[in-house]
Amino acid sequence: MSSGSLAEGFDLPGSDIDIMYIDRNVEVIRNVKDIKYPIQSATYVMETYITHPGFTILKCIKHNNGELLVEPCPCHPWSCPVPIGPKTVSDGHFLWRISFSVAEKVLVHSFNFTQLLCYGLLKLTLKHIININDEVKELLCSYFLKTALFWVSEEEMINCTASTDISSYYKRLAMTKSLIKSESSTFLIDLCKYYYFKTSQYLAQLLPPPNTIGNNYNIRKCYNIHLQDCIKTDAVSGWLLYASFYYVTGKFSVTLILTDYVLSRCSPDMVFGCSEPLCKLRNIYRQNVNSTMTLNEKMKVAIISRVMYCKHSSLIPEELQLEVERSFIFYPPVVMSHCLRFLCYHHLGDIFNRQQALRDLFLTVKEQYLIPFDSLSDSLTILGVCYEILGDKDTAHQCYDGALHCDGYKSLTAEKRKSKLDGNLREICSL
């Protein structure tokens, strides 16, 4: 069984290959009472009542005229996968380290990008800073660092939080780009590329509003670069940000073309929000991809993700600015596509297609088509906004009220929009 950095996906400079050989002919038990008779193979019992946490003494069980004898067993590489004792004690050659290599691999493979980055930087710090100092060399090992990271991850959620500081995102891009150049692990390169493209989705929304930059070539070039990276995260979310860019700049015909493409990709055979190990969508995903594809190719072919508008996003339509006034928001791609189409036709004065777009949005929300459970409230709110723009205050009020009565997560702006609508209705009634 492979273990260590390579097995975990890290192919850092100087990484070696760790192979653990499992002897299936040896049985290790925790208690003598657990022995199964007749004894068919070499059997050892663990004795953990020692002063060295994480280590154990293995005692070999033998028969002597019907009596059970337990004798200490020194570390032999051929009889145990981890015959490693503490180097600081005299009886270290009798001690075996309790290995959790299989569980560790599963945990590392479940890390998010930030956790993987922390782990990689800790390993590099150990190798290139700590271990070149003779006074502390070999004082630490990557196993200790990994264990510490497991503990911190259990106590605190380690993740990248959304920031409004544009310079921090450029720093993330630079750091991720350097990791891509230094890595030789396909897994980590693909992961870094995905994070790079995802970061571009945030960065594009922190640039000056595209309808205010005029002919500023440098900013337009930045938009083009980041939006080109945006479309590489999955099948649709980046394209929706591109559609939003053209909507904000008043190029409604381009927005309609892009949203039409997005809707063509939002089909039941795409994977959307699958986290359960036995989720049926995983089988659909496996049918759409193959082992020769990179992670980026798989994401673009098989995955649809919600589009995220960050706080004070420069790309969100003016009609939805309230939704990002205090926080970021995620919209299902089908919902946002129909909303953008409604807004485009509204500005173009195309009444027939405006009504059709609103009808499509209404049916999407009603049938909860490709709408995750925790996005229903926000979807009802966006539907209410469209009805309010149309002048149908009563239906808009019903949508906001429905958003506030959804189970679980509730829209952060539905109450404010509903109250504002009630205030306007009272003013009208008093005239």
- Which residue type is seen at 219? I
Report whether pLDDT(413) > 90. Answer: yes
CA angle 80–104–186, rounded 5-degree value: 110
Q: Which residue has the higher pLDDT, 420 or 382?
A: 382
Report whether pLDDT(79) > 50. Answer: no
Q: What is the pLDDT averaged over residues 356-381?
A: 94
pLDDT at 48: 66
pLDDT at 416: 93
Burial letters for 21-39: b for 16+ Cβ neighbours within 10 Å, e otherwise? eeeeebbeeeeeeeeeeee
CA angle 201–259–249, rounded 5-degree value: 65
Report whether pLDDT(427) > 50. Answer: yes
Residues near 64 by beta carbon (within 8 Å), at least 6 away in sequence:
none
pLDDT category, 78, cuts 50, 70, 90? very low
Question: Where do runs of H (alpha helix) occur along 5-161?
Answer: 5-8, 101-109, 113-125, 142-155
pLDDT category, 388, cuts 50, 70, 90? very high
Q: Give the pairing type, strands 55-64 and 95-97.
A: antiparallel
Q: What is the overall mean pLDDT for the chain?
A: 81
pLDDT category, 331, cuts 50, 70, 90? very high
pLDDT at 183: 63
CA angle 74–80–81, rounded 5-degree value: 135
Q: Which residue has the higher pLDDT, 330 or 120?
A: 330
pLDDT at 76: 46
Q: Among candidates 133, 58, 52, 131, which has minimal Cα distance to 87? A: 52
- Least confident segment among 192-196, 270-274, 319-323: 270-274
Return the top range by mean pLDDT from 22-36, 114-128, 300-314: 300-314
Cα separation, 88 vs 208, whole angstroms: 60
Element (H, E) at 56: strand 55-64
- Which residue type is seen at 338? H
CA angle 230–233–237, rounded 5-degree value: 70
pLDDT category, 72, cuts 50, 70, 90? low
Cα separation, 173 vs 193, whole angstroms: 10
pLDDT at 429: 54
Phi-psi region of 20 (alpha: psi -120 to 50; beta: other; left: phi over 0): beta
Q: What is the pLDDT of residues 126-174, one digit of tens each?
A: 877 888 888 877 777 777 888 888 888 777 665 555 566 788 888 888 8
Report whether pLDDT(431) > 70. Answer: no
Q: What is the pLDDT of residues 83-138, one digit of tens each?
A: 666 666 666 667 767 667 777 777 777 777 777 778 877 887 787 788 888 887 77
Return the top range by mean pLDDT from 11-15, 161-165, 310-314: 310-314
